[in-house]
Amino acid sequence: QLKVMTFNLLAPCYFRSNGVYESTSMANTIQRHKSIIQVLREQKCDVCCLQEFWFNDNLRNLYQEELGHLYFINTLQRTRSEDGVAILLLKEKFHLVKKHDIFFREHSKFGHDRVALVVLAQLARQGVKSKCSPPLAFVTCHLTYPHHKLDQYSRLQQSKVLLRKSKEFIEETCPKGTPVVIGGDFNGTVEDKVSEEMRSNGFTDAFSIATGIKQSRITHCDHRKNQKGVD
């Protein structure tokens, strides 16, 4: 049994309250992220895929101090932005094998400043890495928000880079048939072309299987105050 969480943290450099960016107040930033960390502790998922992880030294230190004893914390920052992604692996469940960084702009002119992180892990057996334990691959990313039609096309191209480059790395590094779990903020619905691309490459929507909910649902209120089903 595997418990996986995907969570967009809403980076303080983007989060505005009454027109003021949260990043201007470290006290407010720390307070909100302490609440997030409490949720992560309470849920104690085996794998946490995080998006909009802010690469501020104070915040990175907070996550390391509060969660470093529980999780292997793997991060990847975007090249032109203050945020990025992270994958947390529960230490009592896994041993970290290897991580791999994917920069979309290196593989597509529509990659923009997006990245994906791939982490390989082996199941732990009573605190000891089992030599015969097959690896598992975990991937996270944050695709472009669909403000307009070009963004929709960019998202599709980014998803193709994600699938192609993660597959290449996993096939070069792992045995055939290695399980792959992708968790991220795709900024799309289960009916859109990105989801179709995922399914055509053999992936299934774990949330739909677990809950029986097949159609898109409202997931959040976006920065334009519109209710969206895009995660």
Q: How far apart are CA 149 and CA 105, in angstroms?
A: 19
CB 86 within 8 A of CB 50: yes
DSSP lists the bridge partners of residue 105 as none
More confident residue, 127 or 44: 44
pLDDT at 220 exceeding the cut of 80: no
Backbone φ and ψ for 221, nearest 5 degrees, come out as -95, 120
pLDDT at 231 exceeding the cut of 70: no
Q: Which amino acid, one-letter code, is at 107? A: H
Question: What is the model's pLDDT at position 126?
Answer: 58
Question: Which strand (E) or helix (H) includes residue 101?
Answer: strand 94-103
Closest CA to 183 of 151, 137, 229: 137
Question: What is the model's pLDDT at position 81?
Answer: 96
Question: What is the model's pLDDT at position 131?
Answer: 58
DSSP lists the bridge partners of residue 223 as none
Question: What is the model's pLDDT at position 230?
Answer: 60
Coil, strand or helix: which one is 54? Answer: strand
Biggest CA–CA distance in the chain, Å, is 55
Tokens for 183, please give them. 């968790």
Q: Provide the mean pLDDT of the chain.
A: 92
CA trace torsion 42, 4, 223, 27 (10° rounding): 40
**Cα–Cα–Cα angle for 212, 214, 220, nearest 5°?**
105
pLDDT tens digits, 158-176: 999 999 999 999 999 999 9
Global pTM exceeds 0.85: yes
Q: C-alpha 168: how far from its chain's center? A: 19
pLDDT at 60 exceeding the cut of 90: yes
Residue by residue, DSSP assigns 159-205 as HHHHHHHHHHHHHHHS-TT--EEE--B-SS-TTSHHHHHHHHTT---
Closest CA to 184 of 157, 165, 205: 205
For residue 148, what are the CA distances in angstroms to 36, 72, 151, 203, 217? 31, 37, 5, 26, 20
Question: What is the model's pLDDT at position 73?
Answer: 98
pLDDT tens digits, 3-12: 999 999 999 9
Work out the angle between the directed axes of helices 26-43 and 57-67 (0-180°, nearest 10): 30
